[in-house]
Amino acid sequence: MRNSTQKNEELIMAIDSGTQSVRAALVNYSGEITHLVKNEIEPYFSERPGWTEQNPEYYWEMLCKTCKELLHKTDQHK
């Protein structure tokens, strides 16, 4: 993973929201990850045997938090 970007380099934001974490990365057109942020998420909960649930608002909040951290981290490297 590269930690620097060329000035005005175009990047793509990739997001992976899984069962254990939310990750956001900036990738250049060569496929190199230039910045990456990962936040662990709370596991599913169950109020009934055999069921698993998660609050969709929680996922949205964690996605927003992760993306904001990534953009803040990127701004510090300019």
pTM over cut 0.75 = yes
Task: Read off the DSSP letter of residue 6.
Answer: -
Task: Look up residue 43 and give its two tokens.
Answer: 């596991």
**Which residue ranges make up each domain of the chain?**
11-76
33 CB-contact burial (10 Å; exposed 0-12 / middle 13-18 / buried 19+): middle
Tell me the pLDDT tens digit for each residue of 38-66: 999 987 878 889 888 888 899 999 999 99
Q: What percent of the chain has pLDDT over 70?
A: 87
Residue appearing with tokens 């970007």:
5
